[in-house]
Amino acid sequence: MTSVVRLVSVVDINEGSNPLMVSVSVTHMAELDNGQSLLLLDDRGWNSNQPWTASDAAEIQETARTVVGPDEPYGDQTIDDAVAAYWDYIRRILAEEGIKTSSANLMTIKHDVVLSDSVLGRLNSENGRLG
């Protein structure tokens, strides 16, 4: 039975965005034990008036984890409700592709954030460092 071995979020620069300011998209995927990847979320990203000169890789990775993660509680929801709803949402996306797992299991899977070459290049050229 195919299973998820890693969650991967890929951060890339938004095409056409202001080249001086941080503006990125994030694609969130599940890496399977057969080597394939399944798309989980492709509607995430953020825009900021923070210049690349004032950012670093660690900060971008941290923000990426937040924007692909659970939404804030809304209405009568508690934080626990929102977190549970998020993992169930991810579980159901996987289930539609035939990957059976539990929310509890998904929460334990390693999650890596990968910065694209263009993001790394922007950080390098702007900062001379990778943070």
Site residues for another protein per CB under 8 A: 14, 16-18, 21, 23, 25, 41, 43-51, 53-54, 56, 62-63, 66-67, 69-72, 74, 77, 79, 81-82, 85-86, 88-90, 92
Pick 35 or 75: Cβ nearer another protein: 75
Tell me, what DSSP letter sits at residue 9? E
Kindly state the tokens that stand for 46.
């953020």
Report CA torsion sign: 116, 43, 62, 80: negative
Q: From the CB of 107, what's the least distance to another protein, in Å?
A: 14
Q: From the CB of 119, what's the least distance to another protein, in Å?
A: 15
Residue type, 35: G
Collapse the DSSP code of 81 into the 3-class scheme (helix H, G, I; strand E, B; otherwise coil) and give the result: helix
Q: From the CB of 35, what's the least distance to another protein, in Å?
A: 26
Q: From the CB of 102, what's the least distance to another protein, in Å?
A: 17
How far is 39 from 116, CA to CA, in rounded Å? 17
How far is 64 from 27, CA to CA, in rounded Å? 9
Pick 79 or 95: Cβ nearer another protein: 79
Pick 33 or 59: Cβ nearer another protein: 59
Kindly state the tokens that stand for 78.
């508690």
